[in-house]
Each structure stands twice: as structure tokens, then as C-alpha cells.
Amino acid sequence: MTAATKLRSRHLLGIAELDPDEIELILDTAVAMKEIGTRTIKKVPALRGRTVVNLFFEASTRTRLSFELAEKRLSADTMGITVAGSSVTKGETLADTARTLEAMSPDLIVIRHAASGSPHLLSTICKAGIVNAGDGTHEHPTQALLDALTMRERKGRLAGLKVAIVGDLLHSRVLRSNVLLLTKMGAEVRACGPATLIPLGLKALGVHVTTSIDEAVKDADVVMMLRVQHERMHGLFLPSLREYFSLFGLTPARLEHAASNVIVMHPGPMNRGVEIDSAVADGPWSVILDQVANGVAVRMAVLYLLAGEELT
Amino acid sequence: MAHATDAYVLKGGRVVDPRAGRDGHFDIRIENGLVAAIGKDLPLDDARVVEVPAGFVSTPGLIDMHVHLREPGQEHKETIATGTWSAVVGGFTGVACMPNTDPVNDSASVTQFILKRAAEAGFARVYPIGAVSLGSMGDQMTEMGDLRAAGCVAFTDDGKPVATALLMRRALEYAGMFDVPIIEHCEDPSLKGDGVAHEGAVAAMLGLRGIPGVAESIMAERDISLAEVTGGRIHVAHMSARQTMRAVRDGKSRGVRVTCEVAPHHFTLTDEALKDGAGYNTNLKMNPPLREEADRLAMIEGLRDGSVDIISTDHAPHHADEKALEFDRAPFGIVGLETCVPLCLDRLVHAGVISLSRLVELLSSNPASLLKIPGGTIAVGAPADLTVLAPDAPVTVRTAALVSKSKNSPFDAWQLRGATAATIVGGRVLYANPAVADAARFVAT
């Protein structure tokens, strides 16, 4: 396959829609964007005159700030709308909110929403490009891209990497996007979580699924921990967080069986003592803060590739 | 006026009427709204003659026993008039309507209102189904005797299952006095949870909460066991899961009075369709959900081997605004009355799964027998409720052109073979399909 020079869609709805060469393009572009963040004046005019709307229907700090910073560094005009809870409380449908925004002629709409498929609904309504900043339990494509950038930086490659992803697999959009990305790029993915929190169909994607964290971590080059939420106890998924940590928590002892230069990742926010021991989170394996820095670069790359085309 | 009475003869067409053991070319004489005679080369006397076009098939009027007419209370989705007209355009001369209206059809006054509105509309015949419990809340049994006397033909808390095993037991016993079935929306509420799509690989990857097949079958198994001990009649509505088909088959084999129905979307579509286009098409959201291929094939096999008794549409109209929401938030249900006949002819008859005669059993004779209502056969002296099919006519579904008040169908642009040519209720040709060549012959000029 020849290298992509642009994205084929005007939206970024998910990793599912991307081909490997498009993923490479985004990561390569992100490397260039990352350099901008090291300058004294951290700003380029790539999206000058472009309007980006950040439409956040779900609580988010790091993703929203990361997108906002990416937009500002590219000189875009940005509007942020954070709707507490959802638009339904105001009686306005998502479709109507989208049409209202559309009337202001934005170039891109970045959406975070609790309902899976919300960006897809917007893409059928809006002329603007849609960027999925996390939809329900479906996808979180920019997270998987920043994770991939971090792995590539640290390991020099994605193909052949042994990546363990541990935690609440069922409710995780980070898992879905990462599995799609990593399998497309030739990595070996092991997914580990309690039997009550394993979605069907993972095996069909070529993922090794296990309920043993030791099996998942053994010889792993990368261990990615997923957040476990307290409310999972109410759905009868877990008996207690205490037992969860004893069965699935990542500790220095468990990491001993990983590859010697293993890196540990977490999309945040972390629950220390639930899915990850503080000694791991703050230890030499952790690349969690690299992920945050790479998040800005990857989002700059995505925004630039979707809306910055004609400026070059 | 040339004719002494309003008499006409459907001449020379193929007639398929399995209950009467008839499949061949016959004349049908209709007089004063009744079937006056059926036979070969009937004398024409002074009757108007309708030469039935070659290839057309006359059948007993089709009956859809699972329809949501939405009136009273949700007239923005459908009314009794628009719903029964949609039925007629779809080839149905009769429909049984579900009680989950607002108010719920849990009293004779609501039943009488429905029947009054249906008579005013004058389209398809309407057979109300009463609620099992007051408000379908699962607490107190409705006055089934009163409801039966007012015209209810069965009882159900459809939209949700009969809440407890005890209530189902009592309902089966009590309804047994009137020899009417309990129709069950089989679903274990705890296993369904807040699911929105079939629990399987597709929903898992789309991030949609799942409804497992076992949520349906476990409730069917409860109800079949209760029908067994009570001797009551249980009818499993809109069956979708292969496990449920197995439970029903087992029940039948031990002599339990259990029957079941399947909706066209469950033998034509699977959850894979949720991935089509941009994905998350809310016109693919219904309850029970579209399941996976093994389930679809189990429905097909049940239709083929006789384990499935009835095809019904679960016609569930919703306003476009209600469906234009996030998948999680959109209501369950699709319209089905106008797409049923083409889907059945194309995907079952032309596909070689079942014969035309078996299709007439599934769409007419069996629902009439189950509900003990008139029709299901073409009988001399009975009201002339007939459906004329054009099994080879090409159909392109256009959801915008549906006459139902709602257009929430996933079958837009589907190209199918087989159409309704005409629908005759009480001898009156209420509908002749303008898209079918020669169907206009059925309309008196």
C-alpha cells in the first residue's frame, strides 16, 4: 500500500474506519506537531480562520483541554459547549443542537457523548467534519492514536509488540479503539479482565482473551491499564474493588514477568489502589505523562489533516 | 344500476385456502358483502365479472395479530384510522391491536372506544387485545370476563412481560375459562437490563448494551411450564432467539398448548445491519432486537418445519422525531404492515422455504384459529374478506410512501418480488395496488 497523504474521510468517527496507512499518516503528522510544543512560541497558523466547536456532553477534563490546546496551537477559532448531563435535560435533541451549531458554519465539530454512535448521527446531519472525542462504550479514536504514538516512540514500532490491556473491557471505548488500531498495525493484543466484564467478539478480532493478569502481562512490552468504575458493583459485575485489586491490580511484583523494558500506560483518570498500585503509576515503567503530552500532538495532527488541507 | 344486488364474481383466478383444502382455479361469487358461492365455472347471472389476472392468487383475508395502533393516547404515531388503512394497503383485512395505549386497554370502555373508532374508519377489522393486569403494571388482574364480552380476543401485557410467575399462572387459569390465549412478550427484565441491541459481537464492538437471547427464552420457559400445569394457552409473541424456538418446540412435543409468532424483520435481518452506512440506524432498533444469523436461521427453520404458527408484524409506529435520536435513546419498534407481504413472498415463498399455502396458514388461517375470530378461510355465507396477491410483481419499498402515519422502517429501497394486488373487506374492494399491473380490474367502474 502506498503511503497516505490525506485522510479518506472528512470525519474521524473511529479507528474502525481508518486504514493502516492513514494511521501512519496521523502518527507521522503528530511527530511534526509535537515539535511545535517545544518551541517558545507554541503556535502555527495552520487552522487560522477555521472554526472548531467542542461539544462535550459528558464530563471530561483531559480530553477537552487537550483538544482545546491543540486547536489553539493551530490558531483555530474555537467555541466550547459543555452540557451538564445531556441536552435532553434542556429538551433539545442532539440533532437540533447539531443543526443550530451547523448554522454557525463550523469547520469541525469535536463531540464527546455518553451514547455510542452519537458522532455517527452527527455525521449524517452536519456538513462540518466530525471528530469523535469518545462516544459511550464504542470508540475513543484519538486516545488510541496517542497511545500508539507513545508506544511507537518508546518501542520504535507497533508491529509485533505484545500489548496487554487489563481492566473493565466491557465498558471501555479505549479498549475498542486500541484493539482495532493495534490489530490493524500488527501488534499482539492480550485483553484481560473479570469474566463479567469481557465483551463478546473480542476473540474474533484476533485478541487473546484471558481472566489471568499474569498470563496477560507475561513477556508484555506494553501494559495498558483501564479504569474501573465504582458503579460497576451495582450491575453485579464485581463484588468489591478490594477483590478487584487483588485479582487484577497491577503491582510491581506482577510486572516482573513482563518484558524487561516494559512500559505501563493508563488513559486516566487513574484509581490508585484499584486498578494500579501507586508504585507502578509513579514508577520507572510509567509513561502516563507522555501520553498526555502526545494527546495534544495527535489531536493537532487529526484537526490539521481534517481541516487544514487547503492552507498548504 | 345493472345488477339486482351488489354481486360480482372473481373469475378464474388461483385460490389458495389451506383450511378448506383448496388450491386451484376457482370462481368466487360475492354478494351483499358475503361469499355467495365458490366453485368451478359458476353461473354469472347478472353479476359483474372480474377476470382475475393470470398469476394472481386469492386467499382468505390476511390477519396481523400483533399491531400497535397507538390510539388512544399516541395519535402522533398512528391512529386507528391510519393504522387500519396501512393494514389494508399491506393486504390485511384484520388486525389484533395491542393494549399498551394510553390509557391501557384494561377496561371494557377502552375496548369499546377502539371498536367504535375502527367501525368509523371502516378499513381493516380490528380485534382488541386486553391487558392481563390493570395498567399492565403486573399487580391486579383485569376484568377479563368483561373485556372478553366487550370484544377482546386475547390478553397480554405486551411491551413488557407478565410481571410475576404467579400472575401468569392466575392469568392462564382465569383466561382459560373463556378459552382465550395469553400472549406473552417474553423477556426477563433483569437480563434485558438497559440493553438496546442483541448481545453479541456486533453490539459489543459498536458499544451498545446487549440484550441476550436467553432473556427471551428463560421467560418463555417459565410460561410454557405454567401453561403445562394450568392447561392454559400461551402464545409467544415476536419470537427472535434460537433458544426460544427450542423451548417452544419442546413444549409442543410434550403437548403444552403453546404457540408462537415470528415477525418478518427477524427472519430477514440480523444485527450485522447495525453496521451499515454510518451505523446506528435507529430504524433497526426494536425489542426483541435483531439477533444473529444462527437465530435468523432458527426462525426460518421453524417456519419451514411447522414449529412457527404465525407471522405477525409487531407493527410499532414511532414519529420521525422520536427516532432521530442517539441509538440509546430512540424508542424500540418499526412499522411492518405494508412490508410484510413482499418480505414473506420474496424471502420465504420464492426462496423455497415454504409454499404459498403454508404462507396463507401463517398469515391467515392460524391467527384466525388462535384468536377464534371469523376468517382464515373462504367460506360460503361468511363475510367476503379476501386478499389478492400478485406473487411475481416487483416491489421497491419506499418508506416515504408508506400510508402509515409513521415511516420507521429499515426496508427502504429493498427490491422484492411479490405484492398485495387488492384487499377486499366485507365484499368491498378497499384497495387495489396502483403499482401492480391489472390490479385496477378489481375496482368497480
Q: Which of A200, A209, A234, A237 to mutate to test the interface with B (most CBs of B within 10 A)?
A: A200
Residue B44 neighbours by CB distance under 10 Å: 14
Sign of CA dihedral A127, A128, A131, A135: negative
Q: What is the pLDDT of residue B45?
A: 86
Residues B309, B339: contact at Cβ < 8 Å?
A: no
Query: Span B184-211, mean pLDDT?
Result: 96
Q: What is the pLDDT of residue A3?
A: 74
Q: How far is A40 from chain B (nearest CA, A)?
A: 42
CB contact under 8 A, B327 and A116: yes
CB contact under 8 A, B208 and A117: yes
**Percent of residues, chain B, with pLDDT higher than 90:** 97
- Cβ under 8 Å to A: B residues 163-202: 193, 199-202
- Among A98-102, A256-260, A272-276, B379-383, which stretch is predicted with the lowest mean pLDDT? A98-102
- Model confidence at A311: pLDDT above 60: no
Q: Which domains does chain B have, with CATH numbers?
A: 7-58+382-397+416-442 (2.30.40.10), 61-371 (3.20.20.140)
Q: What is the pLDDT of residue B4?
A: 44
Q: What is the pLDDT of residue B444?
A: 76
Q: Report d(CA B151, CA B149) in Å as an integer.
A: 5
Q: How far is B327 from chain A (nearest CA, A)?
A: 7
- Each domain of chain A, given as residue ranges in start order, spans 15-139+292-311, 141-287
CB contact under 8 A, A93 and B207: no
Q: How far is B190 from chain A (nearest CA, A)?
A: 10
Residues B237, A232: contact at Cβ < 8 Å?
A: no
**pLDDT tens figures, A279-293:** 999 999 999 999 999
Chain A contact set for B200 (CB, 8 A)? 200-201
**pLDDT tens figures, B88-146:** 999 999 999 999 999 999 999 999 999 999 999 999 999 999 999 999 999 999 999 99
Average of per-residue pLDDT values in chain A: 93
- Model confidence at A1: pLDDT above 70: no
Q: What is the pLDDT of residue B1?
A: 40
Q: What is the pLDDT of residue A5?
A: 85
Q: What is the pLDDT of residue B419?
A: 98
Active-site residue, selected from the candidate residues B27, B106, B157, B314: B314
**pLDDT tens figures, A53-77:** 999 998 888 999 999 999 999 999 9
Q: How far is B399 from chain A (nearest CA, A)?
A: 18
**Percent of residues, chain A, with pLDDT higher than 70:** 96
Using alpha carbons only, how large is chain B's radius of gyration in Å?
A: 21
CB contact under 8 A, B201 and A204: yes
CB contact under 8 A, B329 and A115: yes
Query: Span B69-86, mean pLDDT?
Result: 98
Q: What is the pLDDT of residue A106?
A: 96
Confidence band, pLDDT 50/70/90 cuts, at residue A201:
confident
Q: Report d(CA A213, CA B121) in Å as an integer.
A: 66
Query: Span B299-322, mean pLDDT?
Result: 98
**Inter-chain Cβ pairs, chain A and chain B, closer than 8 A:** 72
Chain A touched by B92 (CB under 8 Å) = no
Superfamily of domain A15-139+292-311: Aspartate/ornithine carbamoyltransferase (3.40.50.1370)
Q: What is the pLDDT of residue A235?
A: 76
Chain A contact set for B208 (CB, 8 A)? 116-117, 136-138
CB contact under 8 A, B279 and A120: yes
- Model confidence at A15: pLDDT above 80: yes
The H or E element that residue A63 is part of is helix A62-73
Q: What is the pLDDT of residue A84?
A: 66
Chain B contact set for A116 (CB, 8 A)? 206-208, 280, 327-328
Instruction: Enter the C-alpha cell of residue B325.
Output: 435520536
Q: Which residue of A has its CA nearest to B206?
A: A138
CB contact under 8 A, B201 and A200: yes
Give me the residues paired with residue A190 across strands.
A164, A208
Instruction: Enter the C-alpha cell of residue B223.
Output: 410460561
- Cβ under 8 Å to A: B residues 303-362: 321, 324-329
Q: What is the pLDDT of residue A90?
A: 59
Query: Span B181-208, mean pLDDT?
Result: 96
Query: Span A197-202, mean pLDDT?
Result: 91
Chain B contact set for A141 (CB, 8 A)? none
Q: Report d(CA B355, CA B83) in Å as an integer.
A: 29
Chain A contact set for B325 (CB, 8 A)? 93-95, 121
Identify whether B106 is a catalytic site residue: no
Chain A contact set for B329 (CB, 8 A)? 88, 115
Query: Span B406-415, mean pLDDT?
Result: 98
Instruction: Enter the C-alpha cell of residue B334.
Output: 418499526
Q: Is A141-287 the same fold as A15-139+292-311?
A: yes
Q: How far is A229 from chain B (nearest CA, A)?
A: 17
Q: Which residues of A241-265 are buried (b: 16+ CB within 10 A; e: fewer)?
A: beebbeebbbeeebbeebbeebbbb
Query: Span B3-9, mean pLDDT?
Result: 73
Chain A contact set for B326 (CB, 8 A)? 94, 113, 115, 117-118, 121
Chain A contact set for B210 (CB, 8 A)? 200
Chain B contact set for A117 (CB, 8 A)? 206-208, 279-280, 326-327
Q: Which of A58, A121, A122, A175 to mutate to test the interface with B (most CBs of B within 10 A)?
A: A121
CA atoms within 13 A on the CB side of B162: 31
Query: Span B13-29, mean pLDDT?
Result: 97
CB contact under 8 A, B202 and A115: no
Q: What is the pLDDT of residue A60?
A: 87
- Model confidence at B3: pLDDT above 50: no
Q: What is the pLDDT of residue A89?
A: 56
Strands (E), A188-239: 188-192, 208-210, 222-225
Q: Report d(CA B108, CA B130) in Å as an integer.
A: 9
Q: What is the pLDDT of residue B6?
A: 82
- Model confidence at A124: pLDDT above 70: yes
Q: What is the pLDDT of residue A85?
A: 53
CA distance to A289, B53, B68, B97, B110, per residue, from B143 (Å): 67, 49, 22, 18, 12
Average of per-residue pLDDT values in chain B: 96
Q: Report d(CA A119, CA A96) in Å as an integer.
A: 14
Q: Which of B202, B205, B282, B291 to mutate to test the interface with A (most CBs of A within 10 A)?
A: B205
CB contact under 8 A, A176 and B207: yes
CB contact under 8 A, B280 and A117: yes
Q: What is the pLDDT of residue A279?
A: 96
CATH number of A141-287: 3.40.50.1370
Chain B touched by A37 (CB under 8 Å) = no
Q: What is the pLDDT of residue A2?
A: 60
**pLDDT tens figures, A223-277:** 999 999 777 777 789 999 999 999 999 999 999 999 999 999 999 899 999 999 9
Instruction: Enter the C-alpha cell of residue A187.
Output: 501488534
Confidence band, pLDDT 50/70/90 cuts, at residue A47:
very high
CA atoms within 13 A on the CB side of A191: 27
- Relative orientation angle of helices A173-184 and A20-36, to the nearest 10 degrees: 110
Chain B touched by A139 (CB under 8 Å) = yes
Q: Which residues of A266-296 are buried (b: 16+ CB within 10 A; e: fewer)?
A: bbbebbeebbbbeebbeeebbbbebbbbbbb
- Model confidence at B344: pLDDT above 70: yes
